[in-house]
Structure 1
Amino acid sequence: MKQLNFNTHIFIGDDALDCLKGYSNQRICIVTDAYMVESNLIEYVTRSINDTNKYDVFTDIVPDPTIDNVVSGVATLAEFKPTMMIAFGGGSAIDAAKAIKYFGIKLAIISELLLIVIPTTSGTGSEVTNFAVITNPQAGLKYPLVDELLQPDKAILDGRLVKTVPPKVTADTGMDVLTHALEAYVSTEANDFSDALAEKAVDLIFNYLVRAYQHGDDMEAREKVHYASCIAGIAFNQASLGLCHGMAHTMGGKLHMPHGRLNGVLLPTIIQFNANESQRALDKYAQLARKQGWANSRGKVGVRNLINEISDLRQKLEMPASFVAAGYTCEEIKPVLEVIAKEAIKDPTTRTNPVQPSTEQIKKIVLSLF
């Protein structure tokens, strides 16, 4: 028996932030980064909080949030004693907020905390998942957390908040969305519900991501990609992910490469690896290609069509197709290749990959991209 939970309430549209106006007499901790404050984007949030509430802004957030960020945030909880938390920003701010809440409850600093997430990038889907990733920079490792305590209570999707996202970030985060959808689709935990969500996310990305990348003020494209991110997040929250994320988590800590860009390098090769080793994966990739309307998408031809379309999308987004194109050398990766392979196998997302790889197979995948 499998239980499907869709616990986060989602608000969409230009007036979605109005849902914050209904809260009164709360102590609200807003977790964000310094840029959101300096650029005044945070006013989208603070203008929607009525005067009966008190709020404190926590900005000690860095890309790939660290254990130290979380410790600092937990100290803020102990001091401010919030009843609500609003995570406002990209994946780093959201993951940090979720981890701060998690450890605040685990350490009995708070007993409960309403968590509202407002994403300002279209990529992680973290606003609807019980996942978070925290980095240990000293060890060069990323630790995925998976727990129901990480599940946001509400998510607010407002396309205006992603209008000024730079093209490179739009590309990186959009490729992350595609990876989420494709990995959920072939996951060993996939089901008809997650498949339907993943298919829709793939369709939206192929139809709107290039438009959002090339024309940032195209609000239809921005909104559709923003929704695709959330839809893919719901899909992988039900089905989990796969080897691409298992490798990206550990390689990201070593190479300090943007997560979505790293997924973009790995994804076509891992699709081919999965299709070579699993008939079920091959059939599902081909099925997805047919649903996208790519001609003659049967069997291995369907997989090849899917890979070709991803490669073409990557090229239009001006993203690297190899680690060399991304600015890395084989000499940089060889000393940590064994650790990368072992950590990728231990990563919880790898457990639901359609194929359980060996360390040698992972090393071969990495080296083939130099």
Structure 2
Amino acid sequence: MAEWPMDRPELRTIITTYSVPESKLLLNSFIMPKTFYGLAGLQMFAGAMVQFGRRRAFIVTDKGVRALALTVQKMLKGVGIEVEIFDEAKPEVPLSSIKPAAEKMEALQPDLIVAVGGGSVMDMAKASWILYEAPQTDLTNVDAMQPIGLRRKAFLACIPTTAGTGSEATNVAVITDDTVEPHRKEGVVHPELYPDFAVLDPRFVLKMPPNLTLGTGLDALSHAVDCYLCRSSNEISDALAVRATKLVFKYLPLALKYPDNPQIRLKTQIAAMIAGSAFSNGGIGTTHAVAHNIGALFEVHHGMACGVTIPYVIKFYAEVDDKYLSFAEELGVRGGSNEETLKKLIDLFMDFYRKIGAPTTMRDLGIKEDDFKEKLDTFAQYVVKDPTGPFAPRQLTVEEAKELLMDMYYGRL
């Protein structure tokens, strides 16, 4: 079984230490891609690629959204850029599936890689981009402190077809280690992995079905909430996280009610991107430590899994950290005591979930009790080892992870 970088206790300790607020006085940064958004965003992007001297593009997509990739291909060809489409990206990005995409890139020698799809497609593009630029890289052992050398051959652009993952704005590629049983989700994290460009075109998300709209919206919400509550966050990420939370609260119900409205859809895209920018620069913790492994162990949609975790993680963090108080204030939640404020904050999320028909427990995700109990030990161990762990304000033991997971399964708030 491969040892991923964040399996190493010394690295987790360094990151936890660096994530304390006091370290921000020493060094901080905030990175976002150049972003084109709105109904003319794709045209502006294509024109910009000519200005940047791009001549050959490799589009990574999947068969489900190939028609949208063809739209991008037509736009790029219209400005004189040669284009090849690779439509074999797989859900959850199995580790074994990445090298074939990189080999296709190597054959074309593109100077622009364009991801057209959801989170898995964008993560696939990032991971294969690494192998295209640096073929000897071991994706299970990418050292964020050592340069890879990206951009010597190509820029990366991301055009999301969902509104939730925020991968178009992050330096993370989430992949599934399919060399172990049960499979394990891991993140390849590196400062060079930020996309150079993001394009938010609301026409690309108009056809999302209700369940996908809901799940991806909850993913964006978890990015925003967990980032704000992490002590690794900063003033810029906090501002974006609060704004993203408010946008999701306002526009996700509207997107479910009026799915063909491009103005509403664009608002959800912006929420997803700024939430992605927030957590990529400010950290994310236990919501994703749990959700990554719900997906890996039980094959549940990542966004739905993320949504379930939020109220429980707020409560879990609140036992050791009081940042939930300022978050509650930002959302207009006030109580006569800290305890009452916490209860009202959790109720705000639970009421929102009921309003939009979102699951509130792991059992609601369709996970059988026998299956949950059988995998609980492995589940807890994977949660504790998850690469997001060091950014959380509360570090989990295996026993604490088990207790938290049982709370989430049985709905114990």
Within the candidate set 160, 167, 171, 1:130 is matched to 171
Aligned to 1:17: 42
Structure 2: segments with no counterpart, 5+ residues: 1-25, 138-149
Q: How far did 1:363 drift?
A: 0.6
Q: How far did 1:108 drift?
A: 5.8
Letter in 1 for 2:77: N
Larger mean Cα displacement after TM superposition, 83-92 or 325-334 = 325-334
Structure 1: distance between partners of 2:282 and 2:57:
32
Structure 1: segments with no counterpart, 5+ residues: none
Structure 2: distance between partners of 1:176 and 1:329:
23
| 1:359 maps to 2:402 | no
- Sort the Cα spacing of 1:338 and 1:106 in 2 relative to 1 into closer, same or farther, 3 A: farther
1:277-307 per-residue CA deviation (whole Å, 9 max, x = no partner) reads x23xx3x222222222234375222222221
Q: How does 1:162-181 map to 2 (within 5 A)?
A: 162-181=205-224
Query: TM-score, length-normalised on structure 1?
Result: 0.93
Residue 142 of structure 1: SS of its match in structure 2? strand
Q: How does 1:271-286 map to 2 (within 5 A)?
A: 271-276=314-319, 278-279=320-321, 282=322, 284-286=323-325
1:245-294 per-residue CA deviation (whole Å, 9 max, x = no partner) reads 01211221000000111112222111111112x23xx3x22222222223
Say what the alpha-carbon RMSD is for the aligned residues. Answer: 1.8
Q: How far did 1:325 drift?
A: 2.0
Q: How far did 1:335 drift?
A: 2.5
| 1:47 maps to 2:74 | yes
Q: How far did 1:98 drift?
A: 0.5
Q: How far did 1:342 drift?
A: 1.7
Structure 2: distance between partners of 1:181 and 1:16:
24
Within the candidate set 358, 369, 389, 1:330 is matched to 369
Structure 1: distance between partners of 2:41 and 2:233:
31
Structure 1: distance between partners of 2:278 and 2:336:
23
Q: How does 1:73-222 map to 2 (within 5 A)?
A: 73-107=101-135, 111-137=152-178, 139=181, 140-222=183-265
Q: How far did 1:169 drift?
A: 0.6
Aligned to 2:342: 303
CA contact (8 A) 1:297 1:303 kept: no
Larger mean Cα displacement after TM superposition, 358-367 or 3-12 = 3-12
- Sort the Cα spacing of 1:297 and 1:46 in 2 relative to 1 into closer, same or farther, 3 A: farther
CA contact (8 A) 2:61 2:121 kept: yes
Residue 49 of structure 1: SS of its match in structure 2? helix
CA contact (8 A) 2:221 2:307 kept: no
Letter in 1 for 2:120: S
Residue 50 of structure 1: SS of its match in structure 2? helix
Structure 2: distance between partners of 1:297 and 1:17:
50
Aligned to 1:27: 56
Structure 2: distance between partners of 1:27 and 1:358:
49
CA contact (8 A) 2:285 2:392 kept: yes
Letter in 1 for 2:37: I
Query: TM-score, length-normalised on structure 2?
Result: 0.84
Larger mean Cα displacement after TM superposition, 296-305 or 112-121 = 296-305
Equivalent pairs: percent with the same residue? 31
Within the candidate set 295, 299, 302, 1:259 is matched to 302
Letter in 2 for 1:125: G
Aligned to 1:344: 383
Aligned to 2:97: 69
| 1:248 maps to 2:281 | no
Letter in 2 for 1:63: P
Structure 2: distance between partners of 1:82 and 1:219:
32
- Sort the Cα spacing of 1:108 and 1:362 in 2 relative to 1 into closer, same or farther, 3 A: closer
Larger mean Cα displacement after TM superposition, 167-176 or 1-10 = 1-10
Letter in 2 for 1:107: P
- Sort the Cα spacing of 1:86 and 1:298 in 2 relative to 1 into closer, same or farther, 3 A: farther
Larger mean Cα displacement after TM superposition, 260-269 or 117-126 = 260-269
Structure 1: distance between partners of 2:86 and 2:70:
14
